[in-house]
């Protein structure tokens, strides 16, 4: 049995960051959070006064480490994406496939299944962002890939049997019976890239939608006489929303409104990251078009935002600096709340006995100084 003790830092517990706590890890899991002097006689990790938080969980990762998932649906690609993001504190993620053909979706699901079976660090499942979305709110997605799934495609899209499946769709484009069928087959369904009205969104929620992909972006806005998708998301206490806190996708004031409207625990940080995160090249190809990040903003040739160059550690820093939240809550938005959304809140997202030792160490400037997955 391998024992490791993390000490001499601030540890995020249910009470916030505690200076006198230490974390005892055995064989990849947390067995104790102690207060006072750290025990002796084991492998010791000196946190040097830093801030130890649960490892970040990102439910929307299109790429990283120079790889775009759509362009390389392999186990090696998933591993490269994970490695690209780990240096920024992400210890759990959903490789995200944007709208594509059914054969590409099958390969992506098969690669995700194999990556989980082979214990590629951090892989929790797959996010299928489309192709069941709206041309009017397509963003950088290829509308030529869009379709309404039949029974065979529903079975294919929900066929991952060893991880989480998250599906983003437009509720006005997909029958309520289809949404219910996806949920019954174990998928988490969220609304995104949608031109739905408030009533259409509400019908989707009633059918089983439980979340919203990158709130405010690629959806109908909140207006006085038509609340739209945004209004439905903010009005519904039960659903969660993902937010891209990069200062570009959404104005900080709009994000602060969402935080005030939604119950605590229902707003998650996501990156919507593209290959340049953890990679060396600011450009990549999508659907045969070269897309480049300029001054940290990723757009296609038409000027539409095409994902982001955001990493999760930067999202946490931005949440503190732009949204005026304390670091402990920003870390929960990056770890605990995503874990709960994915149904993994009993094993990931907290520093507590019984939880997997997925950890991130931050310094005083909220930059990552160490990352552990299962204690490694």
Q: Is 86 annotated as a binding residue?
A: no
Token code pair at residue 175: 């029958």
Q: What pLDDT score does 20 carry? A: 86
- Please state the rounded mean pLDDT for residues 234-263: 98
* pLDDT 10s digits, 85-114: 999 999 999 999 999 999 999 999 999 999
- Residue 39 is classified by DSSP as P
Do residues 192 and 220 make contact, with C-beta atoms less than 8 angstroms apart?
no
Q: Is 225 annotated as a binding residue?
A: yes
Q: Is 155 annotated as a binding residue?
A: no
* 37 pLDDT tier (thresholds 50, 70, 90): confident
User: If 0-12 CB within 10 Å is exposed, 13-18 middle and 19+ buried, where does residue 152 land?
Assistant: exposed
CA atoms of 90 and 114, how far apart (whole Å): 20
Q: Is 176 annotated as a binding residue?
A: no
* 1 pLDDT tier (thresholds 50, 70, 90): low
* 48 pLDDT tier (thresholds 50, 70, 90): very high
Q: Is 141 annotated as a binding residue?
A: no
Report the run of H or E that residue 267 belongs to, with start and end. strand 267-269
Token code pair at residue 96: 């995200």
Q: What does pLDDT average to over the chain?
A: 96
* 363 pLDDT tier (thresholds 50, 70, 90): very high
Q: 74 vs 84, 105, 120, 373, CA distance in Å? A: 15, 12, 12, 21
Q: Is 71 annotated as a binding residue?
A: no
Do residues 151 and 210 make contact, with C-beta atoms less than 8 angstroms apart?
no
Q: Assign residue 203 a region: left if phi > 0, alpha if psi is -120 to 50, beta otherwise? A: alpha
Q: What pLDDT score does 39 carry? A: 81
**Does residue 38 have a pLDDT over 80?**
no
Report the run of H or E that residue 362 belongs to, with start and end. strand 359-362
- Please state the rounded mean pLDDT for residues 310-315: 98
Q: Is 129 annotated as a binding residue?
A: yes
Q: Is 187 annotated as a binding residue?
A: no
Query: Whose structure tokens read 């006072």?
Result: 36
What sign for the dihedral angle of Cα 181, 187, 191, 194? negative
Q: What is the CA radius of gyration of the chain?
A: 20
pTM for this model (two decimals): 0.97
Cα 170–Cα 172–Cα 174 angle in degrees, nearest 5 = 70
Residues acting as catalytic residues: 272
Query: Whose structure tokens read 């995104």?
Result: 192
Token code pair at residue 293: 């990040």
Do residues 271 and 312 make contact, with C-beta atoms less than 8 angstroms apart?
yes
CA atoms of 286 and 289, how far apart (whole Å): 5
How many beta carbons lie within 10 A of that of residue 335, not counting itself? 32
* pLDDT 10s digits, 179-228: 999 999 999 999 999 999 999 999 999 999 999 999 999 999 999 999 99
* pLDDT 10s digits, 284-299: 999 989 999 988 899 8
Among 27-41, 60-74, 180-194, 261-275, the range scoring the smallest mean pLDDT is 27-41
Q: Is 136 annotated as a binding residue?
A: no
Do residues 78 and 95 make contact, with C-beta atoms less than 8 angstroms apart?
yes
Domains of the chain as residue ranges with CATH = 3-53+353-372 (2.30.40.10), 55-341 (3.20.20.140)
DSSP strand pairing (16-18 vs 10-13): antiparallel
Query: Whose structure tokens read 């900080």?
Result: 252
How many beta carbons lie within 10 A of that of residue 252, not counting itself? 15
Q: What pLDDT score does 336 carry? A: 98
**Does residue 356 have a pLDDT over 90?**
yes
* pLDDT 10s digits, 251-276: 999 999 999 999 999 999 999 999 99
Q: Is 127 annotated as a binding residue?
A: no
Q: Is 193 annotated as a binding residue?
A: yes
Contacts of 107 (CB under 8 A, 6+ apart): 73
Q: What pLDDT score does 232 carry? A: 98
* 68 pLDDT tier (thresholds 50, 70, 90): very high
């Amino acid at each position: 049995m391998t024992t490791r003790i993390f000490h001499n830092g601030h540890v995020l517990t249910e009470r916030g960051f505690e200076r006198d706590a230490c974390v005892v890890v055995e064989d990849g899991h947390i067995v104790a959070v102690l207060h006072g002097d750290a025990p002796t006689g084991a492998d010791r990790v000196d946190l040097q006064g830093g801030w130890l938080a649960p490892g970040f969980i990102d439910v929307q990762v299109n790429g990283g480490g120079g790889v775009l998932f759509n362009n390389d649906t392999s186990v090696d690609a998933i591993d490269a994406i994970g490695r690209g993001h780990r240096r920024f504190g992400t210890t759990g993620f959903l490789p995200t496939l944007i709208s594509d053909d059914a054969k590409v979706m099958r390969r992506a699901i098969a690669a995700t299944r194999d990556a989980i079976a082979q214990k590629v660090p951090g892989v929790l499942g797959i996010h299928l962002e489309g192709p069941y979305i709206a041309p009017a709110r397509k963003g950088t997605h290829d509308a030529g890939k869009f379709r309404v799934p039949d029974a065979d495609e529903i079975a294919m899209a929900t066929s991952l049997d060893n991880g989480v499946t998250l599906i983003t769709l437009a509720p006005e484009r997909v029958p309520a019976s289809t949404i219910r069928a996806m949920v019954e087959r174990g998928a988490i369904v969220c609304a995104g890239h949608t031109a739905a009205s408030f009533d259409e969104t509400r019908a989707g929620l009633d059918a089983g939608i439980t979340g919203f992909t990158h709130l405010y972006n690629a959806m109908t806005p909140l207006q006085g006489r038509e609340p739209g998708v945004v209004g439905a998301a903010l009005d519904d206490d039960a659903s969660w929303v993902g937010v891209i806190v990069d200062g570009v996708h959404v104005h900080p004031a709009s994000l602060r409104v969402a935080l005030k409207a939604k119950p605590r625990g229902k707003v998650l940080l996501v990156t919507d990251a593209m290959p340049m995160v953890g990679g060396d090249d600011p450009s990549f190809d999508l659907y045969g078009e070269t897309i480049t990040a300029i001054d940290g903003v990723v757009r296609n040739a038409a000027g539409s935002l095409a994902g982001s160059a955001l990493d999760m550690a930067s999202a946490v820093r931005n949440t503190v600096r732009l949204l005026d939240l304390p670091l402990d809550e920003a870390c929960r938005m990056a770890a605990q709340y995503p874990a709960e959304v994915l149904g993994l809140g009993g094993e990931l997202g907290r520093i507590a006995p019984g939880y997997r030792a997925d950890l991130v160490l931050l310094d005083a400037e909220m930059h990552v100084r160490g990352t552990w997955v299962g204690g490694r």
